[in-house]
Amino acid sequence: MYPFLHQFALFLHSNGIQREKVTHVKLHQSESRHCTILSQSTEKVAFKEITSLQQDLHMESKPATKPTDDPLLPLDDKSYIFDIYGKTDSSLTSYINSICTTQETVSTPKSETKQREIRKIVDNGDQSNRIDVVFMGDGYTSEEKDQFFDDMDRLTQDMFNDVTFRSYLPVFNIWAIFEPSVESGIGYNGAKNTPFRLYRAAGQLRGIYTGNAAYARQICALTGASGCDYPSLIGNDDFYGGLGGEFVISTKSERTGTVVLRHEMGHNFVNVGEEYDGGSVYRGVNSASSLATVGWSHWVTDELREENSIIRIQDYRWEDLSVEDQYFNFTSDGTYNRWYLHVSVSAAGEADCLEFTLDGEILPWTSSGYDDREFYDWYGFEGLSAGPHSVMVRSKTDPTHPFIPRMICAVRLHEFGTESEFEMDNAHVSAYPTWDNQGRLTYRPTNAGCLMRNMTHRNFCEVCQEGMWHQFFMRIGIIDNLTIAEEMDPTMTRKVTVHTLGLGQLRDPEDVVDGEHLEIRWFYENMEYSGLRDQFTIDARVGNWRVDVKLITPEVRSDPEGLLEDSQTFIV
Ligand SMILES: [Zn+2]
């Protein structure tokens, strides 16, 4: 049905620092193959060679909507997002014609409102050479405009100034677009009268869908060419929920708003699958199908081995506990030494409202005090006996929230070997088994040291982090441009300045990343002037020059394609 879906083609040399100007078209393809061209721009890219079938095209595609940590979430959207990079217009056009029966472009919004306001809340420069994230609020009325910008500042702070994406911040621009809403809040069963029609199904703290993607595309396009790389819809709502894909959808929840955001932005920034159990997509730098194919051996802490563990329960139950108690039965073979139980519940902020048991024994539980979707876990340091076991959860009191049901959302139980067979420490990198929704085994790098596995964790694992740097530098270059002075100095030289991303020594003192450095080397007639090492501005005499800039960072240990390097030639 999508014959080109997993075919990649290429046009660049593999000597690493070679980059090429190409046209990038991003489009939405509906199930009936009607295409909406979302953006078209010129970019300097460096894709590695994967196949030589189509010499001048590179293409990536993904479903337009995807669930977050909940593979069983019902989605009826069968559309796709394509990113197509073409060296020539003719090859781009013929490729697009081959996947689209009809085409349109995103129009400008018909309604002009004085209330609409576009703010660039983080401005790191030229948007054609930055990753642009656009937050659009839904369900914020005119009176809630200040609240909206406060919320977006807080989410940005959480995501980009705190640990998650902090080191990448100089690569980003962050936008916030206020679009006034008639009604406040988002729908809990069908949409309210809001610009992007965000709604939940059945009050569940689970998926949040948009009923007006077309309008969100129009509003996002107001950021201009290359301004809408990663659009995000943020609901004016205090509880967990969202979706990934074309739009990252989340809420302003102080408890869980960034939980969905950073996980789904992570999927967008680095082309990887999940690290949690029970998903359907396991691929990319953080996944290996066998120990022999582990791609992160340069990060492994001690020896590479399969950490000894097994999964006994993975259940996305989403049952209302006011209807009946819920049982999760499983069988152990009695050969493991420790266990770990992880659950999530909603509308259980009331003290002592729930009871959890394992084989009839009450597990100690204290409510966080919040009705949001909250995550709880227990460790057991004695092995389970061979035979049947059961986890039970029941509500001890009547539901307290007017429109959020008290639910058991998901339950997972793992068993582990001894401390010498399974390293629990999240800083430890090895090969940890993960089981998909068919029970198939793959490996991930850390136990729970990555937010691609553990939604409430604030960090990516080292492997995802390195992959993110690689991915960014396929799309953008470290060098923005060069300026060469018009005037010749009396010494017959011209001032030349290289302008780069604000990494390494260009970071603000309070944002310094230890060990990060931009290495700058100037070459005259192919010979390096080592005395000019790490100078951003030089006096260059007449002749042929080249400048190489390389990012040195402890977050990247392997860069075989030289993606963290950029180079430009010039003549004085
Ligand atoms: Zn990871």
Q: What is the pLDDT of residues 260-269, one digit of tens each?
A: 999 999 988 8
Q: How far apart are CA 66 and CA 288, in angstroms?
A: 22
Rounded to 5 degrees, φ, ψ at 473 are -85, 5
**Best CA proximity match to 396, nearest among 406, 404, 387, 405:** 406
Instruction: Express each pLDDT in 91-117 by its tens digit.
Output: 899 999 999 999 999 988 887 777 899
Distance 367 CA to ligand 1 centre (A): 29
Amino acid at 346: S
Distance 294 CA to ligand 1 centre (A): 13
Q: How far apart are CA 17 and CA 344, in angstroms?
A: 46
Distance 358 CA to ligand 1 centre (A): 30
Domains and CATH numbers, the chain: 20-105 (no CATH), 117-269 (3.40.390.10), 308-422 (2.60.120.230), 478-571 (2.60.40)
Ranges 59-73, 239-253, 417-431: which has the least confidence = 59-73
| Separation of first and last alpha carbons in the chain | 53
| Residue 238: DSSP 8-state | S
Distance 282 CA to ligand 1 centre (A): 11
Helix axes 462-475 and 257-269, enclosed angle (nearest 10): 60
Distance 455 CA to ligand 1 centre (A): 11
Distance 275 CA to ligand 1 centre (A): 7
Q: How far apart are CA 343 and CA 413, in angstroms?
A: 9
pLDDT at 453 over 50: yes
Q: How far apart are CA 444 and CA 288, in angstroms?
A: 7
Q: pLDDT over 90 for what percent of the chain?
A: 78
Q: Which residues lie below 8 Å from residue 228, measured CB to CB, with a gap of 6+?
A: 38, 39, 132, 134, 220, 221
Q: How far apart are CA 552 and CA 547, in angstroms?
A: 16
pLDDT of residue 21: 83
Cβ density class 136-156: b for 16+ within 10 Å, e for less: bbbbbbeebbebbbebbbebb
Amino acid at 140: Y
pLDDT at 451 over 50: yes
Distance 467 CA to ligand 1 centre (A): 9
Cβ density class 96-126: b for 16+ within 10 Å, e for less: beebbeeeeebeebeeeeeebebbebbebee
pLDDT of residue 348: 97
Distance 409 CA to ligand 1 centre (A): 23
| Residue 157: DSSP 8-state | I
Distance 87 CA to ligand 1 centre (A): 33
Q: How far apart are CA 348 and CA 375, in angstroms?
A: 11
Distance 462 CA to ligand 1 centre (A): 7
Distance 465 CA to ligand 1 centre (A): 7
Phi-psi region of 135 (alpha: psi -120 to 50; beta: other; left: phi over 0): beta
pLDDT at 276 over 90: no
Q: Which residues lie below 8 Å from residue 59, measured CB to CB, with a gap of 6+?
A: 4, 7, 8, 9, 82, 83, 84, 85, 95
Q: How far apart are CA 96 and CA 84, in angstroms?
A: 9
Q: How far apart are CA 344 and CA 408, in angstroms?
A: 6
Distance 459 CA to ligand 1 centre (A): 9
Instruction: Express each pLDDT in 42-71 by its tens digit.
Output: 888 887 643 334 568 888 899 999 888 888
| Residues pairing with 447 in the sheet | none
The pLDDT of 285-307, averaged and rounded, is 95
Place of tokens 């909940």: 70
Q: Which residues lie below 8 Å from residue 105, measured CB to CB, with a gap of 6+?
A: 36, 37
Distance 276 CA to ligand 1 centre (A): 10
To the nearest 10°, the Cα dihedral for 258, 259, 262, 266? -170
pLDDT of residue 35: 98
Rounded to 5 degrees, φ, ψ at 328 are -125, 100
Distance 377 CA to ligand 1 centre (A): 21
Distance 51 CA to ligand 1 centre (A): 27
Distance 274 CA to ligand 1 centre (A): 8
Compute the Cα dihedral for 328, 333, 334, 335 and give only its sign. negative
Compute the Cα dihedral for 348, 351, 352, 356 and give only its sign. positive
Show the tokens assigned to 47: 């894709």
Q: pLDDT over 70 for what percent of the chain?
A: 95
Distance 94 CA to ligand 1 centre (A): 37
- Binned at pLDDT 50, 70 and 90, residue 1 comes out as very low
Distance 449 CA to ligand 1 centre (A): 7
pLDDT at 73 over 80: yes
The distance of Cα 405 from the centroid of its chain, to the nearest Å, equals 29
Show the tokens assigned to 394: 């029941």
Average pLDDT value for the chain: 91
Structural contact between residues 41 and 77, judged by C-beta atoms closer than 8 angstroms:
no
Amino acid at 322: S
Distance 452 CA to ligand 1 centre (A): 5
Distance 39 CA to ligand 1 centre (A): 30
To the nearest 10°, the Cα dihedral for 261, 264, 270, 271? -170
Distance 299 CA to ligand 1 centre (A): 12
Show the tokens assigned to 250: 């989340």
Distance 434 CA to ligand 1 centre (A): 12
pLDDT at 14 over 60: no
pLDDT of residue 272: 80
**Best CA proximity match to 310, nearest among 420, 386, 416, 391:** 416
Helix axes 145-156 and 257-269, enclosed angle (nearest 10): 60
Instruction: Express each pLDDT in 505-556 by its tens digit.
Output: 999 998 899 999 999 999 999 999 999 999 999 999 999 999 999 999 999 9
Show the tokens assigned to 194: 């809001």
pLDDT of residue 53: 43
Amino acid at 48: K
Distance 476 CA to ligand 1 centre (A): 22
Instruction: Express each pLDDT in 16-32 by its tens digit.
Output: 446 778 899 999 999 99
Distance 325 CA to ligand 1 centre (A): 35
Count the neighbouring beta carbons within 10 Å of the beta carbon of residue 165: 23
Q: How far apart are CA 118 and CA 223, in angstroms?
A: 8
Instruction: Express each pLDDT in 331-350 by its tens digit.
Output: 999 999 999 999 999 999 99
Distance 285 CA to ligand 1 centre (A): 8
**Best CA proximity match to 296, nearest among 266, 270, 331, 321:** 270
Distance 286 CA to ligand 1 centre (A): 5
pLDDT at 184 over 70: yes
**Best CA proximity match to 471, nearest among 561, 399, 382, 387:** 561
